[in-house]
Structure 1
Amino acid sequence: MLLTNLKLDQHTDRPLYAQISAAIKEQLHSGQISAGDKLPSVRKLAAALQASRTTIESAYNQLVADGYLLNEPKRGYFAAALAGLRSRSDAPVTQSIEPPAVRYNFANNYIDPASFPTDLWRRYLNRALKNKALLSGYGEPQGETELRRTLAKYSSVARGVVCSPEQIVIGAGVQSLLQILIDILQPELTEIALEAPGFAQAERLFTSHGWQVHHFSTEQLDAKLPRLLYVSPSNPYKGRSLSPQQRLSLLHWAAEHHTYLLEDDYNGEFRYFSRPVSSLQGMSDGSSVIYLGSFSRLLLPSLRLSYMVLPPRLLERYRQLGHLYNQTSSTIEQLALADFIAAGALCRHVKRLRKLYSSKNTLLRQALTEIFGDRVVVRAYESGLHLRLAVNAPLTAAELAEAALQEGVRILPVYDKTELLPEILLSFAGIQENEIRPALSALKKAWF
């Protein structure tokens, strides 16, 4: 038995019984000790290792408790049969191939850190930390009252949303709020349609709960569509907003067919060559529109804080279930944001961002024309943080993205089967202005 030759380290903080236990596990893993093998007696192993019987008994008892050994009275200790035990040679193999390094990032999962007023935000966080009474619990399940009051006022001024604080539900990101909404709507509704080309994360969430997911166009509304439509009227994905007439038509259609509109107002504040268009929720009577707002681009993506405005009928259902949900958003950040908004800091910040993003938007379009000429067509650019481009190249959108990544540029492919030319999105929120031209030059090298 190899155990009797075990060398113990007397000069480490690790207890001797733990060293012995680990050695036995190692020999079980490696097959040096097989199922059913009898281990040395406590007395014999203690003598061989020059350790106390108490030490050996502690090691054996720990292994029995962990399921590695069996203790049979008057017979001794035996190795257990560990079916499915992973051997040391079966350790997972890590991927050794490094992905291409990204030099220029046109993805939408980050912002330019210089654009965020970090010092000012820290001041509001420090102020929130002084509210010990509110910080000592899990927080309000629906969201802190002070923030909901502030959001009701802010969303009214900034986005034309008409609601009371009681209608607002706060969560850590849109997906956490969609989870609550699914529970509210089931079992009455189990089917949803999203504006093409869709929103992958939301679709995955709905399908995982057994919902049927479809795509639709706001220009082709069909009476057979589900009773829940996911829409982005400010349309940052396509880069253009719905016209006032299109918005009215959508609201009239929803009322006629008793349909809920789930309005995702992602980046609705950012419109560069005219005033931001108000929300659908504010144009409606409030009975059929579920409004989603987020701060991931207004402030920081790492600030996981979004909010949902429920129509009165759904609010009643939420009140029946609300006690089942713990609040997913940090109480500290909620209180800091409430003060940040109330002091007017958010409005001033948004004005600065509009100016910055408008400059990037214009610079990017000018550079595209100079570098690509008629090889790319800007489909839309008036709102949001993206430009949507059609690329005149014999590649799919996914192939364009892969070729770009090989040159160190990350872009977003558009999976829209209705378009003849492959399309991509270029987000300019995070990329530096002095990186735009070098990034486009790298794209040209990748594609042409």
Structure 2
Amino acid sequence: MVEITINMDYGSGEPLYIQLYNFFKKEIQTGKIEPGERLPSKRRLAQHLGISQNTVETAYEQLLAEGYAESVERKGIYVNNLNRDLFIHFEDSPQTQKEISEDSVQYRVDFSHGAVALEHFPYSVWRKLTLQSLYEEENSHFLNGDSQGELALREVISKYLYQSRGVRCSADQIIIGAGTQYLIGLLTMIIGRDRIYSMEDPGFHRTREVFKDQGVTLKPISLDQEGIVLNHLAESKANITYVTPSHQFPNGMVMPITRRMELLKWAGEKDRYIIEDDYDGEFRYKGKPIPSMQGLDRNGKVIYLGTFSKSLIPSIRISFMVLPTSLLEKYNQHFTFYKQTVSRLHQHTLWQFMISGHWERHLNKMRTVYRKKQTVLIQSIEKYLGQKVTVIGDEAGLHILLNVQNQMSETELIERALEKKVKVHPTSVYYANQDIGQEPMILLGFGGLTGDQIELGIRLLKEAWELD
């Protein structure tokens, strides 16, 4: 395995993942890292350099995308065999010395699916409640709290989940954690690593990486127009499956009630569980709300995951999971020594925000805001892109997929957009089994954009993609 010695320049203003990517690229081009060598694992390298695992992952993704390395399932990332003659004059050529970083571009429009409408966040209310959290009961919130999270917050979350999503649970079944990835890692330890896990393909790549980092056997399961294909799930021999039924990520379909009931029937077998990630279930634009799978479950087979990242702000890092009683017993026996990962002050502030009615008002407001933004996006696509594209997944959530029919590859679509200073996002990263013959699809998030920015972005994409 490659030994890495690199000094990260924190004062340069250049993103750390770009520094890491450029380091590896140069080492590979000059032959200092030879073909066939395995790069360090993301976790190991992040610890070695004192940076986040996401930073390493982003750098590696760029190396993979440009062909400098390839990912071998369950083994790691290996350097590809390149024609070094092409790089002999690399350092002498002014043209090749010129590095163009995406992060150095001042985007006119960034269709990020992770952004939210920060301009509508109730700053003054949150500031007031935060100060109250600091003063109430003096310094009690400065000490460690319950490993599952603050009881008062779990109680109000329990009531909210029942009223809004039909989730049936007590506060004792809820565990609060700093992000869904952390909770999935904890859940994998509770369930056990000796099971066969599965997830939708395509599916959220960060979740896939958590499962892989936990060392479990993970089977990708294909989708049809209603969600996960059950006969493929049965054939996989998996006994744990991760799904996003209320807004499949990234394809956007909503799993109908019939498929949900069939999946629950599958889970009825001994030692099978469904992990239901309801990451943005609050935002639905077409049809009537569909109850959570957990609310339909009568056998204690569904683990429900939720988050405040989409509905409030991403940086708050407050997510939660609802454990069925069988897994709650295992948690209480073996895992309560893991300390709570979310600030008690933030938990207390959120509790006050919810019990005082601010949460409900904010959520209702944001439903209207995002519905209007999505309408602008769809209308702009119809106006500028016409029949050359197909919109996928517009029933819910804060993103859509765009199938572009102009013979360009996914990479070409992204690069052409970049020339117009518009950032669009790939969908290939979400596939475990990439279908080579599949038409390219681009992901467009709209939560963090204004109506004018959305229309401008789509108009520029028409020019970039030559859709006349």
Give the TM interval when normalised to the shorter protein: 0.7 to 0.9
State the alpha-carbon separation in 1 of the partners of residues 408 and 141 from structure 2: 54
**Matched residues in 2 for 1:275 and 1:134: separation?**
44
* Cα offset, 1:115, TM superposition: 1.6
Question: Which residue of structure 2 lines up, in the alignment, with residue 17 of structure 1?
Answer: none
Instruction: Tell me if structure 2 keeps the 8 A contact 1:380–1:389.
Output: no
Match of 2:275 among 242, 253, 262: 262
Matched, 1:233 2:245: yes
Look up the match of 2:454. Answer: 436
Matched residue, 2:319: 306
Q: How far did residue 236 of structure 1 move?
A: 4.6
Aligned to 2:353, what secondary structure does the other structure show? helix
- Contact 1:236 1:384 (C-alpha < 8 Å) held by counterparts: no
Taking the aligned partners of 2:111 and 2:189, their CA distance within structure 1 comes to 35
Q: Identify which of 347, 357, 378 aligns with 1:334.
A: 347
CA distance in 2, matches of 1:442, 1:258: 52
Q: What's the CA shift for 1:192? A: 1.5
**What is the identity, as a one-letter code, of the residue corresponding to 2:449?**
I
Any unmatched runs of 5+ in structure 2? 1-96
Distance 1:125 1:398 in 2: 44
Deviation at 1:360, TM superposition (A): 1.0
What is the one-letter code of the residue matched to 1:230? Y
Instruction: Output the amino acid matched with 2:133.
Output: A
CA spacing shift, 1:130–1:233, aligned 2, 3 Å = same
Instruction: Specify the alignment match of 2:182 in structure 1.
Output: 176
Q: Give TM-score scaled by structure 1 length.
A: 0.75
Distance 1:386 1:102 in 2: 19
- C-alpha distance in 2, partners of 1:134/1:103? 46
Cα distance change of structure 1 residues 187 and 389 upon mapping to structure 2, 3 Å threshold: closer
1:137 aligned onto 2:143: yes
**Matching of residue 224 in structure 1 with residue 235 in structure 2:** yes
**Structure 1 position 438, deviation (Å):** 1.1
Q: Distance in 2 between matches of 1:426 and 1:215?
A: 24
Counterpart Cα distance in 2 of 1:401 and 1:311: 43
**2:200 — aligned with what?**
195
Residue 286 of structure 1 and its aligned partner are, at CA, apart by: 5.3
SS at match of 1:263: strand
Contact 2:185 2:214 in 1 (8 A): no
Q: How far is 1:197 from its partner? A: 0.5
Corresponding residue of 1:361: 374
* Equivalent residue runs for 1:1-400 within 5 Å: 97-99=100-102, 100-131=105-136, 132-189=138-195, 191-216=196-221, 217=223, 218-222=228-232, 223-225=234-236, 226-237=238-249, 238-256=251-269, 258-285=271-298, 287-400=300-413
How far apart in 2 are the matches of 1:232 and 1:388? 16
Report what 1:34 is aligned to: none
Deviation of 1:107 after TM superposition, in Å, equals: 0.9
Are residues 1:421 and 2:439 paired?
A: yes
Identify the range of structure 1 (238-247 vs 350-359) with the bigger mean alpha-carbon deviation.
238-247
1:398-431 CA-to-partner distances (Å, cap 9, x unmatched) read 4322332232112222225457321122111001
Instruction: Return the offset for 1:193.
Output: 1.1
| Cα gap change, 1:179 to 1:286, in 2 (>3 Å) | same
Find the residue that maps to 1:328 and give its secondary structure.
coil
Structure 1's 187 and 387: CA in aligned 2 closer, same or farther, altered over 3 A? Answer: closer
**Higher Rg of the two aligned structures:** 1
Q: Deviations over 1:52-79 (max 9, x none)?
A: xxxxxxxxxxxxxxxxxxxxxxxxxxxx
Once the two structures are superposed, residues 316-374 of structure 1 have per-residue CA deviations (whole angstroms, 9 ceiling, x without a partner) of 11112333212111111101111111122111111111111111111111110110111
Query: Which whole-Å CA distance do the structure 1 matches of 2:201 and 2:271 have between them?
Result: 21
Distance in 1, Cα, partners of 2:101 & 2:278 = 37
Identity across matched positions, percent: 36
Counterpart of 2:214 in structure 1: which amino acid?
H
Q: Distance between the aligned counterparts of 2:343 and 2:229, measured in 1?
A: 40
1:208 CA displacement: 1.5
In structure 2, relative to structure 1, the CA distance for the partners of 1:187 and 1:266 (3 Å cut) is closer
Which range moved further: 302-311 or 130-139?
130-139
**Secondary structure, counterpart of 2:169 in structure 1:** coil
Runs of 4+ in 1 over 6 A off after TM superposition: none
Equivalent-residue separation in structure 2 for 1:348 and 1:291 (angstroms): 24
Distance in 1 separating the partners of 2:332 and 2:230: 36
AA matched with 1:229? T
Could you tell me how far 1:179 is from its partner in structure 2? 1.6
Note if contact 2:193-2:214 (Cα within 8 Å) is conserved in structure 1.
Answer: no
Distance 1:306 1:114 in 2: 22
* Partner SS state of residue 246, structure 2: coil
What amino acid is aligned across from residue 446 of structure 1 in structure 2?
A: A
1:277-328 CA distances to partner (integer Å, 9 max, x unpaired)?
2110001115110000000011001110000000111101111233321211
Distance, in Å, in 1 between the alignment partners of 2:169 and 2:230 is 30
Do the aligned partners of residues 101 and 221 (structure 1) sit closer, same or farther apart at CA in structure 2, a change above 3 Å counting?
farther
8 Å CA contact 2:193–2:215 kept in 1: the answer is no
Which amino acid counterpart does residue 451 of structure 2 have in structure 1? E
> CA distance change for structure 1 residues 388 and 257 in 2, over 3 Å: closer, same or farther?
farther
Query: What is the distance in 2 between the residues matched to 1:410 and 1:260?
Result: 38
Deviates more, 1:161-170 or 1:268-277: 268-277
Cα distance, 1:433 vs structure 2: 0.7
Asked if 2 retains the 8 angstrom alpha-carbon contact of 1:173 and 1:304, the reply is yes
**After superposition, what is the alpha-carbon deviation per residue over 1:225-279, rounded to whole angstroms, capped at 9, x for unaligned?**
3111000011252223111111111111221465210000011010013332211
Query: Structure 1 residues 256, 317: CA separation in 2 closer, same or farther (over 3 Å shift)?
Result: closer
User: In structure 1, what residue type is equivalent to 2:355?
Assistant: A
Structure 2 CA distance for aligned equivalents of residues 401 and 260 of structure 1: 38
> Cα–Cα, structure 1 residues 259 and 173, in superposed 2: closer, same or farther, change >3 Å?
same
1:133 and 1:144 map into 2 onto residues whose CA distance is 15
Distance 1:390 1:98, change over 3 A: closer
